[in-house]
Structure 1
Amino acid sequence: MSAAENLPEGVIRTAIEWQMRLRANANNAELHRQLNDWRRHDPRHELAWQRLQQVGGLFKASPLPDAARTIPLLRQAEADLSRRRTLKLLGLGLAAGGATLLTTTAPATWRSDFVTATGERRRLDLGVGSELTLNTGSAVDVRGHEWVLRAGEVLIDGADWRVRCRFGECEGRQARAVLRERDGYSEIHVARGEVLISTPFGQRHLQAGDAMAIAATRMTALGRGPLDPFAWARGLLIVNDIRLVDFLAEAGRYRQGWLGCDSAVADLRLSGVFHLDEPALMLRNISHLLPVQIVERTRWWVRIRPLV
């Protein structure tokens, strides 16, 4: 493969994400194994990785720039990856975007106290009879006696605990609850006990069976949805009458790569119990339950289409 080959932006972006994950979790053996699998799967993956090392390696003392700034620079450098030209292009990036290029860090979530990779779950002992479990792609920080959810989703179970989310603070008393960050709001489901939600605009007490969306200016009670919010802690994805497109968005949180469907099958309904640790089997089961076919160009790109 030619060094000047134009790489797809998706491949470059994925390589950058791998690099950032490794910077934040250098000793994670499983993460290294997954990266090696990705590099071996497609020559373009390996080429993107080598190019990225050549650019990122020039500034070992500084964090790698984020994807939005690095992708254009990599594209310009594709035809000539000499050290001199790469330095020149990065200098142009500095002139155009300011000195932040070399000081931009990886997303704050990757620098958090505790982080999980895609598909990983992790259990932490909070002491005093409480524990916290991180779901896939999640990050939490410890601030004294308070835990801060930076991204993703956690299950908290125990006597007394306090977890801050983006829009408020949740205090549990003999409570078991799931707290998840979504676009524009935080979501909490209570399975047991009592949880007090405190925000700048008021407080709310939740009991077992309650669920709430916490946004910047209001709290909204949630009804029962198609997704079991607690099943992931048992390694399961349990759904009831969920749209296929929504199911794939949820399942996609637990696997690397892109997972989507054609608009023609997006509104098909699906119910069932799926094992999160067996993503390939999960996808095969979809084709047994619905009139669809699975199209896999690579293990990193999967699309669901109508059955023909």
Structure 2
Amino acid sequence: MNKKQLILKAFEDVDADMLDLLLNDGQSYQDVHKETFVTELKSYFEDLRNNRDYKTDFKAVQGMCTNCNKGKKGYSFVNSEGESFTSMVFEESDDDYTDIYKCSSFKTFDREITEEWIGIHFYEEDKVNYLPTELHIRQQKESDRAVKALEMEIKAEGILSKNFYVPWVSTYRHLHSIGDIFTDKSYRYKNEVSGYLWILEPLAEVLEKSNLARELWQEFIAFPLIDRETIQDWLIRADYHFPYYKFATEYKADYQQDLFITGGIKIRLSEHWYLQNIAVILNKCSDWIPDYNPLKEADNYAASEDDEDMFPF
């Protein structure tokens, strides 16, 4: 087997150690140094081997890019169930590959892919030509400061209270945006703080409705009889103000310890007590909630009328 065939076989065998030997030192692949490229593959391949739900009998199936690098040829590595762990363009010379990079618009020539997995990913800081701007440097320092403050609070207190995480979210929420998902650029320094914000930002936002939750709870416990006809109007209003709560919370509450755990972080339960009760009621009575909430429909109708006023054509 020549070198190119050995490289393809190493991908088929999910053998990153062999790729470490075969790929060229000092060369970049997918715009990152060879060492970074192989390290990411090692982690990915290890996950593949340890996941018993997947068959790892991968074979290289030839194809080409249909978009950004249209016409460039490469291979998708597909198992016997038609699942591909990645599709990559292989730019080549006579006896070697001059570059290897992931392709998200890949079309195989003679084999249909039933499922394409995410594959490897690199951050902007990993790239060989990365030059941080003043904004990047400032955001990196902010991200480090945010993570350090949060983890020191968790270490000192063992649990997070709203007095800490509500202002923390307010201070650092600009470091995390849902729009980041739809950009080609992601930064490692924002990864950890974004993970914490994914967990804490929704909790901080829902606490703004604590007073409303308390009012609804007080109204609920005043009902002399709990049946569908008696409380349906209440359920409609509660579902309107707290959408998705009827599906229950993702965490389990420990009332004795006054905490619940989400994303591995302990949160003070008593500060969410009324909100937790609303979630329990909506979940237990979810069959009594109409599929189409009339209050939400009224909002949609009002919004459509506003659109017609703005664009009367």
**Normalised TM-score (structure 2):** 0.22
Q: Whose helix fraction is larger, Structure 1's or Structure 2's?
A: 2
Q: Which has the higher contact order (CA 8 A, sep 6+)?
A: 2
Q: Whose strand fraction is larger, Structure 1's or Structure 2's?
A: 1
Q: Which has the larger radius of gyration?
A: 2
**Normalised TM-score (structure 1):** 0.23
